[in-house]
Structure formats: structure tokens, C-alpha cells
Amino acid sequence: MYEPYRIKVVEPLLHTTRRQRKRILKRVGYNPFGIPAEFVTIDLISDSGTGAMTSSQWAAMFQAREDFAGQTSHEDFVTKARSITGFPHVLPVHQGRAAENILFKTLLEPGDTVAANTHFETTRGNIESIGCRAIDLPSDEPPFLGNVDVGAFEKLNRGRSKVKILVMTLTNNIKGGQPVSMENIDDAKIAARRSGTLLVFDASRFTDNAYLIKEYTKSRNSIGQICRRMFRAADILYLSSKKTGLSNIGGLICVRTKDLYDRLSQEIIRQEAYPTSGGLAARDVAAMATGLVDSMEEDLLRAHIGQVRSLAYALKQNGVEVFEPVGGHAVVIVQKAPDRHAAFALAAAIYLESGIRVGVFDDTVRLAVPRRVYTDKHLAYTAQTVSRVYHKDLPHLRLVHKPSEFYNFFARFTEIAQRKV
Ligand SMILES: Cc1ncc(COP(=O)(O)O)c(C=O)c1O
């Protein structure tokens, strides 16, 4: 199967010398997030906001009028988002974590409990910053490794503090984007209704979830039909459109009642901007509207998930152990030594060898594939390089800065010696 698009604009790849890369690594404390992008040749640190847009998205951006309120692009965006999600009320926001902040501030009181299949870092951060508890209840039922443990949720609810919100992240960002099954969504909905818990979807990679449901269950339904069926279960839905939504910035919140819509609008005006912009330029809202519609194309999903799988396959062929089943947006390498320093050491060694940047999440190295950006040859080269480095001795790192929060993004190290792994 070939890519369902052709390339119109290209960016030259940037090359650096080993000496430059060694200097940069030292300067940024061996944390890949600190490396200036101009010194990165192939960037697999995130699939978020890093995809290539279509000519229709760029055209929509150019045509959008910048007004303070009542923007035309807002009208169009709301119409499209309503039809994709089935929710009556839609609010644009500037990205996923803005949606989390606005939503949780509006719905939670200090001391409340929120459960999830697994909280993404910013989701947890936004919940805990209000003084609430964020509890992970992952389940382990292949191939739907993103499922929430509904039994554990019910047990938690029988305890002293009731669960106010149950968040289901579709796909679950753990291990490169693991899907949640329709059965699990239905079970969670029944359990949440029974206990009066709000069921909230973080749908940042919802089309990946729909694609994997379709594939694993051999469903004949279209991606659009599966999405509507998934979304029927949720009381509230939010997403970052920087992932499968195919835009470089943006997000949204969808709710079912006018009352909640009004309360959220007030919070949005306090924090972001007039609610018809959600803190975005009108042109960004226009790109987001077009991206959301494009994101339902099954061929695009097949091409992107296919690239992720080819990368995993090439790594495995070269003796690199990867987490399986491979998720929707990234390949996760199983560490030879299970400690965070080893993951940072591998990421640093990959960068030093090649200028390829990978991410470190939860003690593992993650290769996230941006949508429509790199060719199969880029990824074949990545697999070769990563495999070569994986089998070598890694630098030995010592932690010199431990941040109070968001360890992966801000930890810094120094190199102290070579060690055998
Ligand atoms: C599952 C999930 N939720 C929320 C977010 C936050 O979205 P944003 O980066 O747009 O703020 C992310 C970002 O990677 C994510 O993966």
C-alpha cells in the first residue's frame, strides 16, 4: 500500500557533526527535550503538533478572517465537530492541556478522586494541581491494552471516597498508544452511570482507536461510524487536535448540556479568549476544522499506523525488543536495564550517533512517528541506527537535576563513565 498523498513542499534535513552533537548533549544535560530542533536530523520525540498539513488546510488558514468574536471559521468548526462527535455543544481551546485545565477547574473540588485507564502527564498535573487524587486503573487484556479495569473502578467506588470522574484516554498514550475496546467503553459507561461518576473521554487519538477497533474486531463499519458509536457513551469529551486531528495546534471540549457549556465558556473567557476562538487565531481554528474531517480517512490511518509497524518490525529484525502489540503512534523499546537513566542513556547515544531524536517516557525510549512527515526510507535508516546503538555500551549517566514535577521533561544528567548493559 502506498501513501495516500503526494508531497508538495519539502524541508531540507539538517545535518550536524558528531562533535557538535556531543557538545549539545552535554549542554542540555542529556535530556532529548532540551536539544534545539535545528540540531535534530530526524525528530521522533513526539507525534503531537508535528504532522504535515494538507494544501486544503493551508488554504483554509489563508482564507480565515481574523475577528474578535463570531468568527466564520468558528461556525464551520463547530458544525464539523458536532457531526463527527455527535455532541451538541462544542468549544475550541488552544490545545489538550488547556481543555484539561478548564474542564477540571470547572468540575472538581479539592479532595475529589479521578480515575483513568492511565492519566497522561498533563491530565494528572491538572487534576493534582486542584488538590485532587488521580488514580490509574489500567487493565491487561490483549490486544486492547488501553482498557480500564472496570472491576477495580467499582471496587474503588465502594470505598470511602466516590470517584467523581472516570477518564478514558483513546488511545491510551501508554506504550505508544494502546486501544480501548468498545466493550470496555460500554462496561465503563454502565459502571459510571451506576455510581453517578462522569465519564470523560480524552479523545486525543480517537481515530487511531477507531482504526484499531475496526482492525482487531474485523468490523465493517467506517471510522466515522465507530467514532460516533464510541462517543455515544461519554458525558464529556475533550481532545488535543495536534495528534490524529492533524493540526499543529488546537483542541476542543464537547459537552451535552447548555448549562455546562455556559460555565465552561466563562472559564474560557477568564483563561483563554472569547469562546469562539478558544485562544487560537481564526486561521488555526480553520486548519483544525479541515484536519478533523481529514482525520476520518481510513487510508491515512492505515499509512501512518503502517509506518509505525514497519519501524517496529525493522527494529525487531535487528534484535531490538519492542513493546507488543505495537500501538497507534509510536514504537516503545523495552529497556535492557529497567531504570530511567538507561532510557536517557539510550536516547543520548542514538542522538550522538545520528542526530535522530527520540523521547523518554516512563523509563522507556519512545519513537513517535509524526503524520505525513517522514518517508519509509527515513524510518528504515532510523531502525538501522537505533539497532546499532542498542547493541553497544551506553554512556553512564548520573542525575544532577531532579525536578519536582515532570521528570522526563526537565531531568538533567552528567556522563560519568561507560558501562556494559
Ligand atoms: C493523551 C493525551 N492527552 C492530552 C495531551 C495534552 O495535549 P496537548 O499537548 O495538546 O496539550 C496529550 C499530549 O501529548 C496526550 O497525549
**Taking the model in full, what pTM does it have?**
0.95
CB 182 within 8 A of CB 234: no
Shortest CA distance to 260 belongs to which of 294, 234, 293?
234
> Would residue 196 be called left, alpha or beta, if left means φ above 0 and alpha means ψ between -120 and 50 degrees?
left
pLDDT of residue 421: 47
What are the pocket residues of ligand 1 if the criterion is a CB atom closer than 6 Å to any ligand atom? Answer: 48, 95-97, 120, 122-123, 169, 173, 202, 204, 240, 242, 251
Report pLDDT for 255.
Answer: 98
Taking CA atoms only, the protein residue closest to ligand 1 atom 6 is: 96
Q: Ligand 1 centroid vs 120 CA: distance in angstroms?
A: 7
Residue that is written with C-alpha cell 498533563 in the block: 122
Q: Please, which residues bridge with residue 399 across strands? A: 413
Q: In a structure prediction context, what are the per-residue pLDDT tens digits for the chain, which is 421 residues long?
A: 789 999 999 999 999 999 999 999 999 999 999 999 999 999 999 999 999 999 999 999 999 999 999 999 999 999 999 999 999 999 999 999 999 999 999 999 999 999 999 999 999 999 999 999 999 999 988 899 999 999 999 999 988 779 999 999 999 987 899 999 999 999 999 999 999 999 999 999 999 999 999 999 999 999 999 999 999 999 999 999 999 999 999 999 999 999 999 999 999 999 999 999 999 999 999 999 999 999 999 999 999 999 999 999 999 999 999 999 999 999 999 988 766 699 999 999 999 999 999 999 888 999 999 999 999 999 999 999 999 999 998 888 999 999 998 899 999 999 986 555 4
Domains and CATH numbers, the chain: 18-40+297-419 (3.90.1150.10), 55-294 (3.40.640.10)
Q: What is the rounded end-to-end Cα distance, in angstroms, of the chain?
A: 39
- Distance between Cα 70 and ligand 1 center (Å): 27
| pLDDT on residue 338 | 64
Picking from 149, 160, 115, the residue whose alpha carbon sits closest to that of residue 135 is 115
- For residue 171, the ligand 1 atom closest to its alpha carbon is 1
The reported pLDDT for the residue numbered 339 is: 65
- Residue 162's SS3 state is coil
Greatest Cα pair distance, the chain, in angstroms, is: 62
Instruction: Give the separation between CA 73 and CA 66, rounded to whole angstroms.
Output: 9
Residue with the smallest CA separation from ligand 1 atom 16 is 173
User: Can you tell me whether residue 331 is helix, strand or coil?
Assistant: strand
Beta bridge partners of 361: 364
State the Cα–Cα distance between residues 26 and 47, nearest whole angstrom.
Answer: 26
Q: Are the C-beta atoms of residues 203 and 168 closer than 8 Å to each other?
A: no
Tell me how far apart the alpha carbons of residues 161 and 143 are, in angstroms, rounded to a whole number.
32
Residue with cell 548533549: 25
HEC per residue, 293-304: HHCCCHHHHHHH
In this prediction, residue 29 carries a pLDDT of 97
Cα(327)–Cα(314) distance, rounded to whole angstroms?
15
Selection from 207, 242, 209, 239 nearest residue 48 by Cα: 242
- The SS3 call for residue 142 is coil
DSSP-assigned beta bridge partners for residue 148: 138
H/E segment holding residue 21: helix 18-27
DSSP strand pairing (251-255 vs 330-333): unpaired
Distances (CA, A) of 249 to 53, 120, 238: 11, 18, 14
Q: Which of 33, 46, 48, 329 to mutate to test the pocket of ligand 1 (most atoms within 8 A of CB)?
A: 48
- The ligand 1 atom at the shortest distance from the C-alpha of residue 98 is 11
For ligand 1, mutation pick of 243, 280, 284, 332 (most atoms within 8 Å of CB): 243
Cα–Cα distance list, 214 to 177, 186, 302 (Å): 15, 16, 11
User: What pLDDT, on the 0 to 100 scale, is given for residue 363?
Assistant: 85
Distance CA 370, CA 375 (A): 11
For residue 213, CA distances in Å to 138, 146, 182, 209, 311 come to 18, 11, 7, 6, 21
